[in-house]
């Protein structure tokens, strides 16, 4: 069995990119707007289902063991158990959905944008559900504080992730640093 180190390095590098963009944030009362979702969409658009999801899992595992990779240089299980935990957990199905969609279609802007929009909805669903439970909010309260503030910025992040992700992916394919989605 042949094991290539390059995909593992690229996966780790992309987990680091998620950690860096997580520090870009706009504070809101319960949940800040962060660069994490942009980074996740970008990483999965570039790497595809398998390695994109691995990058997200690695990022979450690093945060869960206490490394300061989450927003505000925080980490630990207490962050995952707190009000933002649903979004963090939602990053996993988000990555899977984006990658799966792109594998079933083609990694071009329109498909990548649609995939990232669906991924955003998945993340927001998990985040709102978690907020309802952890913060003991009504459904209306969870939607108003956990979904509404993120819709417009989420659409913008989905467009940026799709646009940049497709360009970077195509350049990595041309350089033969990535394998085409089969």
User: pLDDT of 20-74, one tens digit each?
Assistant: 999 999 887 777 889 999 999 999 999 999 999 999 999 999 999 999 999 999 9
pLDDT band at 147 (very low <50, low <70, confident <90, very high): very high
Q: Say if CB 60 and CB 91 are below 8 A apart.
A: yes
Residue 62 covered by a domain? yes
User: pLDDT of 109-138, one tens digit each?
Assistant: 999 999 999 999 999 999 999 999 999 999
Mean pLDDT of the chain: 94
67 CB neighbour count, 10 Å cutoff: 15
Q: Say if CB 163 and CB 104 are below 8 A apart.
A: no
Res 176 pLDDT > 60: yes
Residue 80 covered by a domain? yes
Residue matched to tokens 């289902």? 49
Comparison of pLDDT for 60 and 6, the residue scoring more? 60
For residue 156, what is the domain's CATH number?
1.10.1760.20
Domain extent, residue 119, equals 5-174
In angstroms, how far is CA 96 from the centroid of its own chain? 10
Q: Say if CB 124 and CB 146 are below 8 A apart.
A: yes
User: pLDDT of 74-119, one tens digit each?
Assistant: 999 999 999 999 999 999 999 999 999 999 998 899 999 999 999 9
Quick one: pLDDT at residue 1?
A: 62
Total number of domains in the chain: 1
- Cα(19)–Cα(35) distance, rounded to whole angstroms? 9
> Rounded to two decimals, what is the model's pTM?
0.93
In angstroms, how far is CA 55 from the centroid of its own chain? 9
Nearest to 162 by CA among 85, 124, 105: 105
């Amino acid at each position: 069995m042949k094991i290539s180190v390059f995909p593992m390095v690229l996966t780790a590098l992309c987990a680091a990119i998620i950690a860096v963009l997580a520090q870009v944030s706009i504070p809101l009362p319960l949940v800040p707007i962060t660069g994490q979702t942009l980074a996740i969409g970008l990483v999965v658009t570039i790497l595809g289902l398998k390695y994109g999801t691995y990058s997200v899992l690695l990022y979450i595992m690093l945060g869960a063991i206490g490394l300061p990779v989450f927003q505000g240089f925080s980490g630990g299980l207490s962050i995952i158990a707190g009000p933002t935990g649903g979004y963090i957990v939602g990053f996993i199905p988000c990555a899977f959905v984006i990658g799966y969609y792109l594998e079933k279609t083609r990694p071009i802007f329109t498909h990548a944008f649609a995939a990232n929009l669906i991924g955003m909805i998945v993340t927001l669903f998990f985040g709102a559900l978690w907020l309802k439970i952890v913060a003991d909010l009504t459904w209306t309260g969870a939607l108003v504080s956990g979904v509404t503030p993120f819709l417009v910025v989420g659409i913008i992040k989905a467009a940026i992730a799709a646009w940049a992700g497709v360009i970077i992916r195509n350049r990595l394919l041309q350089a033969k640093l990535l394998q085409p989605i089969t």
